[in-house]
Chains A and B, each alone.
Chain A
Amino acid sequence: MAARKPTEKTLGESLRERGVSRRGFLKFCAATASMMALPPSMAPAIAAALEKAKRPSVIWLSFQECTGCTESLTRSHAPTLEDLILDVISLDYHHTLQAAAGDAAEHAREEAMAANPGEYLVIVDGSIPGPKANPGFSTVAGHSNYAMLMETVENAAAVIAVGSCATFGGLPAANPNPTGAMSVMDLVKNKPVINVSGCPPIPMVITGVIAHYLTFGRLPELDAYNRPMAFYGQSIHDRCYRRPFYDRGLFAKTFDDEGARLGWCLYELGCKGPTTYNACATMRWNDGTSWPVEAGHPCLGCSEPKFWDAGGFYNAVSVPTSASGMNVLAAGVLGAVVGGAVAVSAKKQTKAEVAHRQPVTVEELEAKL
């Protein structure tokens, strides 16, 4: 995967070259509007903007993660991943998807960075052992995640953190957080960071954020947790089709009682829908087939900070979570403050470290274990 200069052709031109008609392009844009949570009447405006869009170079970094986010993206149907990679973005580096390995792969990343300074997008999945943690907890090609992240974002246009690990620390940061896992926004302070949370995020939300950047040439409007409002602006509960049962006080008490069979609300079985902001209720999963609440399972709150530690998945929100919900918020604020302080002190060292990025040595690993 050699790095390409992305600016030669517009998307419209390259699609036309591949025999895609304008009507076909309009259809693509109808799907893209849906993907960006925009009204379908926007399709012609999207077509006009995308026609002129250039393909940005994208570097995808994977750190402490389970590959679920990449799995999720490869199940994105609108457009297909192939379309996305070939037509919409120039994916110059992605561990899991690239054919190149070893030195060649690392060079692809370095070339993409050198060829597109200030213009490339960095997408990150996975959390990062912080600057004070043992760098050996997670390395790529012998370099610590932290060093690789800081070096790669240095000249990036923006960073998109994909999945709850990259956005909020996720499972690796769950109590007692043995690897000192931190989120991207804990560490990157001098670049725009967009959080696409979820465990994993809905594939169309990942591609929708990229499509938004391409279409409008800027980042989408964000909420207090840096999540795009288009997808995280409403709670699961506000868009849930079981809501009429909630409003009438009709709750399933067990997974197989009469209420469950009749499709009543899952609140008392632990549904975190009322405190969770995500697009599952309307975008659904598996190519729009269904979503957890439709499959009869309460929402776990996977797109919210610290969802692993926010009380049991099957405890009703009211008692434990209005209390632990406060904790979650307080912890989030505290985390941001602590993270900020760490980042400031770390930033001084970063420049020097990045300039002389050294592989993690065996001695270092042993000393810190």
Chain B
Amino acid sequence: MSLLDQIPVVVESGSVVPEADPHPQGYGNAEPVLHEVRHALARLISTGETTKIDLKAMPFGPGDLEHLLSVLGTGEVQASIDALGPTRVQETAIPGVWLVDYLNSEAHRLALHLEIATVPEILCPQPQDLNDAIAALDARLNPDQSDPPLAS
């Protein structure tokens, strides 16, 4: 994709990351976010209140995001939404903790959220769309009728 990949990089000495270590290194800034997730989970369980955490707005150093995601792991549910480019939803290995990755049509990341909820908001139909749903179905049931029937 990027020509940058084709520039050979030779690391001569002093590599910070030991090569055999499978765990991503970090600057220690993932830890506070993990505790925030823990508080959010407790709130979700006790009051049903959902939380969104904007991972792009965190002062992460190299390796912090990778470390955070590796601790959270990969869960069972994946979903993708096709609206203004793809949005990928992945449940982490912690039930109720979702990673929502918003991409535009050029696959640039617009936002990256952790959502602590039973169902991420973007998966739900929007209330106004729900209001129009019966009318939309009626229009399909009666394709010849030019006047749309009342929506109730």
Q: In whole angstroms, what is the CA distance A362 to B38 when docked?
A: 71
Number of interface residues, chain A, beta carbon within 8 A? 39
Q: Which of B59, B62, B87, B126 contacts A239 (CB 8 A)?
A: B59
Flag B70-81 by CB within 8 Å of A: 1 or 0 each: 000000000001
Q: Is there an interface contact between B57 and A37, defined as CB atoms closer than 8 Å?
A: yes
Known contacts A22-B129, A287-B108; is-contact A27 B83 (Cβ 8 Å): yes
Q: Is there an interface contact between A263 and B110, defined as CB atoms closer than 8 Å?
A: no
Q: In whole angstroms, what is the CA distance A28 to B87 when docked?
A: 11
Q: Is there an interface contact between A294 and B61, defined as CB atoms closer than 8 Å?
A: yes
Q: Is there an interface contact between A294 and B111, defined as CB atoms closer than 8 Å?
A: no
Q: Is there an interface contact between B61 and A241, defined as CB atoms closer than 8 Å?
A: yes
Q: Which of B29, B111, B125, B126 contacts A78 (CB 8 A)?
A: B111
Q: Is there an interface contact between B28 and A244, defined as CB atoms closer than 8 Å?
A: yes
A233 at the interface (CB under 8 A from B): no
List CB contacts (< 8 Å) of A6-32 with chain B.
20-28, 30-31
Q: Is there an interface contact between A287 and B59, defined as CB atoms closer than 8 Å?
A: no
Q: In whole angstroms, what is the CA distance A41 to B56 when docked?
A: 14
Residues on A with beta carbons closer than 8 Å to the beta carbon of B33: none
Number of interface residues, chain B, beta carbon within 8 A? 35
Total CB contacts across the A-B interface at under 8 A: 100
Q: In whole angstroms, what is the CA distance A73 to B4 when docked?
A: 23
Q: Which of B28, B106, B121, B126 contacts A22 (CB 8 A)?
A: B126
Q: In whole angstroms, what is the CA distance A24 to B82 when docked?
A: 8
List CB contacts (< 8 Å) of B35-60 with chain A.
51-54, 56-60
Q: In whole angstroms, what is the CA distance A22 to B128 when docked?
A: 8
Residues on B with beta carbons closer than 8 Å to the beta carbon of A20: 83-84
Q: In whole angstroms, what is the CA distance A228 to B60 when docked?
A: 23
Do most interface residues of chain A lie in helix, strand or loop, or is the interface mixed?
Answer: helix
A262 at the interface (CB under 8 A from B): yes
Q: Is there an interface contact between A77 and B59, defined as CB atoms closer than 8 Å?
A: no
A285 to chain B, nearest CB (A): 13
Q: In whole angstroms, what is the CA distance A80 to B121 when docked?
A: 24
B122 at the interface (CB under 8 A from A): yes
Known contacts A77-B108, A288-B109; is-contact A263 B128 (Cβ 8 Å): no
A106 at the interface (CB under 8 A from B): no
Q: Is there an interface contact between B58 and A282, defined as CB atoms closer than 8 Å?
A: yes
A356 at the interface (CB under 8 A from B): no
B64 at the interface (CB under 8 A from A): yes
Residues on B with beta carbons closer than 8 Å to the beta carbon of A44: 121
Give me 13 A-to-B residue pairs in the complex whose CB atoms sit less than 8 angstroms apart, sorted by A's number: A21-B129, A23-B129, A24-B83, A26-B126, A27-B84, A31-B102, A33-B111, A40-B54, A80-B104, A242-B61, A244-B27, A263-B27, A282-B57
Residues in A lying within 8 Å of B, measured CB to CB: 20-28, 30-31, 33-34, 37, 39-41, 43-44, 77-80, 239-244, 258, 261-263, 281-283, 287-288, 294
Residues in B lying within 8 Å of A, measured CB to CB: 14, 16, 27-29, 51-54, 56-62, 64, 81, 83-84, 87, 102, 104, 106, 108-111, 113, 121-122, 125-126, 128-129
